[in-house]
Amino acid sequence: MGFKGLSESSVRFLLGAGAVAGFFLVWEFLLTYVFVFNPFFITKPSLMWGATGDLILSGELWKDIYVSGTPFVFGFAAAVVIGIPVGVVMGWRRRVAFTLDPFLTALYASPLVALAPLLIVMFGVGVKGKTILIFLLAVFPFIFNAFAGVRSVDNLLINVVRSLGGKERDLYFKVILPSTLPYLVAGARIAIGRGIVGIIVGEFYAASEGIGHALIWFGDMYQLAHMFVCILVLMIIAVIFTQGLRKAELAIAPWRTQETR
Amino acid sequence: MEPYIRSTDITLTFTPKNRDAVTALKDFRIELNSGEFVSIVGPSGCGKSTFLNVLLGLLKPDKGEMEIGGKKITGPGVERAMVFQEFGLLPWRTVLANVELGPELKGESVASRRPRAQELINLVGLTGFEGHFPHELSGGMKQRVGLARALATDPEVLLMDEPFAALDAQTRDLMQAELLQIWDKHKKTVLFVTHSIEEAAYLSDRVIVMTKRPGRTKRIIKINLPRPRGYEMRLSPEFNDIKLDIWNNLKDELNARE
Ligand SMILES: Nc1ncnc2c1ncn2[C@@H]1O[C@H](COP(=O)(O)OP(=O)(O)O)[C@@H](O)[C@H]1O
Ligand SMILES: [Mg+2]
């Protein structure tokens, strides 16, 4: 068709961007010419555009992103740093898995957001309380996926490294961790989604700033355009992290990305 | 002359959870001279891989012990290296990094291990593929990497567990000839497990025929064919007699297979 001479990545970008633009245009069109527009029920892109301007010009948006982003980054980083070693050791050492399994399964299965009020009471509405909540939500996908990844390690590769004089430490760093990587990336995707839930829930109670708080506040005020902008911002944050993940995977695991291409 | 590798009667029983115990080896005994090329043939499941893993130091026998150069085997050691049937290359490492694995695990510096790895890559004919990942290679190339990796620690003994079984016939013939050249040049002791009578007869000084499980030595057949052996030798009547001899020893074990 008309894409001849374009690289695959530009075609990909054009189609993706076109689809998003088309989505907003159809949305705008439907609410302008087809359906009756009720601003207490829904908003439309032209109004959101204006709201975005408001939020950016007043400096609110950046402040809220900063306030919510800080605990997100801290909580997520802690989930990586703690979740991966715990999962890996559980996978490799059966006794550790048997010991921790009941606690982790119970915590993973239960709606951790229910703990939010308690955490807020204990640690406050500031960075600390939200970080802990986001950490709790994000850490389980790392633990369980690292665990599953380790269980899938090819025993042959373990034998290869052991036969060449590898010690326990070498097994971890030269076999177990690299074979677990695809599972960790999958876990990270889930953890991003759960972490964003953590942002919103963590700011649900008593918070006075942050993107989650703004979202809820605008909702209460029936400022739907502003509220939708907040939702969009959360989506964009999720997309940026997921894309960053893809890039990171490409950098640290070139063999996989070449394989799946 | 004292044999370089010797064992007392080796017995090893697997006791998997929720399944019946399997005695893989019962009173299996072996002696190898330094620099010798010995093949083991036997019905599948008779304990060949198990034995190689004992010799490699990954499995401990229930009874019996093995000695190499007068020293008892208690675990893996630098004087032994294995070439695996399924290659066992680390998918996240390039050809070069896979070949360097052994020296790296021994703590050798890059400066000392790199030139040697490159030399071995050239030796197995993979020059130019140093930066490729395993999934970009054909089966034959993968096993060349496997061979180079095993040679990289400069072992005295090369253990090979059906190394060419996963390759197509032509690649196999080629690799056999190259293996003989490398063996001749580097003077390794080779213990080679195979399903192929032809391969065993072509490569070896001696062929050990094993019984069905639990594996013991049934016959040891000496191959008195001159070296270097060319492809034409495989068409000679002497060669066919040897193959027939191996086959006659093996066939009862095969149809008695459960
Ligand atoms: N890790 C294990 N656990 C239980 N049984 C095993 C194990 N490894 C091998 N066996 C059994 O021991 C026997 C010998 O296996 P193996 O040495 O692999 O035979 P082969 O001669 O085909 O290489 C087989 O019956 C196999 O099923
Ligand atoms: Mg086998």
How much is the pLDDT for A4?
A: 76
How far is residue A26's CA from residue B238's CA, in Å, rounded to a whole number?
84
How much is the pLDDT for A94?
A: 87
| Cβ proximity of A162 and B76 under 8 Å | yes
Q: How many CB atoms lie within 10 A of CB B155?
A: 20
**B219, containing H or E segment:** strand B217-222
Beta bridge partners of residue A216, listed in sequence order: none
| Cβ proximity of B171 and B35 under 8 Å | no
Question: Does A25 reside within a domain?
Answer: no
A152 DSSP 8-state letter: T
In Å, the largest CA–CA distance within chain A is 74
How far is residue B214's CA from residue B237's CA, in Å, rounded to a whole number?
34
Please give all residues whose CB falls under 5 A of ion ligand 2, grouped by chain where several chains appear.
B 49
Cα end-to-end distance, chain B, whole Å:
40
What string of pLDDT tens digits covers the 258 residues of chain B? 789 999 999 999 999 888 999 999 999 999 999 999 999 999 999 999 999 999 999 999 999 999 999 999 999 999 999 999 999 999 999 999 999 999 999 999 999 999 999 999 999 999 999 999 999 999 999 999 999 999 999 999 999 999 999 999 999 999 999 999 999 998 899 999 999 999 999 999 999 999 998 889 999 999 999 998 988 999 999 999 999 999 999 998 886 544
3-class secondary structure, A31: helix
Question: Does A171 reside within a domain?
Answer: yes
CB contact under 8 A, B88 and A160: yes
Question: Does A207 reside within a domain?
Answer: yes
- Between the CA of A165 and the centroid of ligand 2 the distance, in Å, is 22
Question: Does A30 reside within a domain?
Answer: no
How much is the pLDDT for A261?
A: 43
Question: Does A130 reside within a domain?
Answer: yes
User: How far lies A186's CA from each of A192, A249, B43, in Å?
Assistant: 10, 11, 43
Q: B132 to chain A: which residues are within 8 Å by CB?
A: none
What's the angle, vertex CA B160, arms to CA B233 and CA B66, rounded to 5? 120
Comparing alpha-carbon positions, the chain A residue that sits nearest to B91 is A255
In tens, the pLDDT along A164-176 reads 999 999 999 999 9
Question: Does A12 reside within a domain?
Answer: no
Q: Does A162 contact B at CB distance below 8 Å?
A: yes
| Count of domains forming chain A | 1
Question: Does A35 reside within a domain?
Answer: no
Q: Parallel, antiparallel, or unpaired: how do β-strands B80-83 and B157-161 relate? A: parallel
Beta bridge partners of residue B208, listed in sequence order: B40, B220
What is the CATH classification number for the domain harbouring A120? 1.10.3720.10
The residue range of the domain holding A244 is 43-252
User: Most A CBs within 10 Å: which of B52, B56, B99, B105, as the mutation test of the A interface?
Assistant: B105
User: Most B CBs within 10 Å: which of A94, A164, A258, as the mutation test of the B interface?
Assistant: A164
CB contact under 8 A, B90 and A258: no
